[in-house]
Amino acid sequence: MKLTVEDLPDIATGAALLGTGGGGDPYIGRLLAMHAIEAFGMPEVIDAAALPDDANVFTIAMLGVPTVLGEKAACGDDVDLAVRSLEQYLGRRADALVGIEIGGINSLLPVMAAARLGLPLVDADGMGRAFPEIQMVTYNVYGVPATPLVVTDDHLTSLVVDTRDAAAAEGLVRVASVQMGCSVILSSYPMTGEQVKRTGVHGTLTLALEIGRAIRHGRETGDPVTALVDYLRTTPYYNQCEVLFDGKVVDLSRETRGGFNMGFCHLEALDGSRRRLEVTFQNEHLVAREGGRVRCIVPDLIALVDRETAAPVPAEALRYGQRLKVIGISAAPIMRTPESLAVFGPQAFGLDDPFVPIEQLGD
């Protein structure tokens, strides 16, 4: 994949859609990536298949409350410190970086990190979307330890965490992140090239780019939502998708609790039918219900987009009166296995509803 600066806005748009309401503002990630590229040059983007099996690969990500992520961003030195501190702790250098999630700001933070550190970036991630917790990645599901990991903040405080499992790491890092200002840099899941190939969701940086291009081309031709859905149906992961609802926001509840942006959004149909859809979120959208019936549920993706421009609208940007279309999208097959559902299926978020793939829910 040959990445250019001109591709960054399209990646940011595609990543905002794959963020499913969370993941932080990819516009901030775009600015961080552009600044790093201007200073250090464009990093090499490689397929997972190109990695030697014994390559040392680290993840890099921001973690915290989405509203705070957009305010604090990253200074760059904190990114360098996270990777270099993990290298020092492990006693080996990173050969490449890979994303932990492709949704939101964490789609482009790895571009920034790879440029600054002079490392290749793998075209893959650990979920093909965004999720709020460290253990909610395919790396963890298929046996890659999350720790040791390093957390850093904008004051260049660093913390090494080494725990028995990824869920325990999530608990410790979440508490630390609140003390460190609700926005931290995280380098975790040190793994081999073989593990990236076996456990990652491949090609997602390319998919984010192509999603952004589809939306942009749709705006030029006059129907961006249709262009978006048409493109998604050609992809290997997101091909089961549909517009679930067309309405305006009539009720909204949102609060920061336990380090998460939590709440719900109610939309009322624009066709006068009085139909209503409720979307519940914890950073990311978790479930869409119409009349009590599930229309789409995690780990499948729920995206809210402007009905005229298809611009993805994150949960923290939802406002009363917005006119939106709600799109349900299938997750990557590796995200729908029994092993994956045990880690980030509906019950992991306290939902009683079982997971049913969107293509089986019907109209």
Q: For residue 36, what is the domain's CATH number? A: 3.40.1610.10
Q: Which domain holds residue 256?
A: 230-361
pLDDT for 109-129, tens place per residue?
999 999 999 999 999 999 999
11 token code pair: 């990646």
Phi, psi of 62 (to 5 degrees): -100, 145
My answer on whether 116 and 242 are in the same domain is no
My answer on whether 191 and 315 are in the same domain is no
- Asked if the model's pLDDT at residue 78 lies above 90, the reply is yes
My answer on whether 306 and 167 are in the same domain is no
What is the three-class DSSP state of 321? coil
pLDDT for 268-318, tens place per residue?
999 989 899 999 998 899 999 999 899 999 999 999 999 999 999 988 889
- Domains: count for the chain: 2
73 CB burial (10 A radius; 0-12, 13-18, 19+): buried
Distance CA 198, CA 105 (A): 25
pLDDT the model gives residue 161: 97
Q: Is residue 225 part of a domain?
A: no
Q: Is residue 213 part of a domain?
A: no
My answer on whether 180 and 118 are in the same domain is yes
My answer on whether 168 and 254 are in the same domain is no
My answer on whether 44 and 191 are in the same domain is yes
Q: Which of 183, 202, 221 is the last residue of a domain?
A: 202
pLDDT the model gives residue 178: 84
My answer on whether 29 and 149 are in the same domain is yes
Measured on CA atoms in the order 128, 306, 285, 295, is the torsion positive or negative? negative
- Paired residues of 267 in beta bridges: 249, 277
Instruction: State the alpha helices, DSSP H only, in the chain.
Output: 8-18, 26-40, 66-72, 77-90, 109-117, 138-141, 166-179, 193-199, 204-221, 224-232, 338-344, 358-361
- Paired residues of 161 in beta bridges: 149
Q: Is residue 357 part of a domain?
A: yes
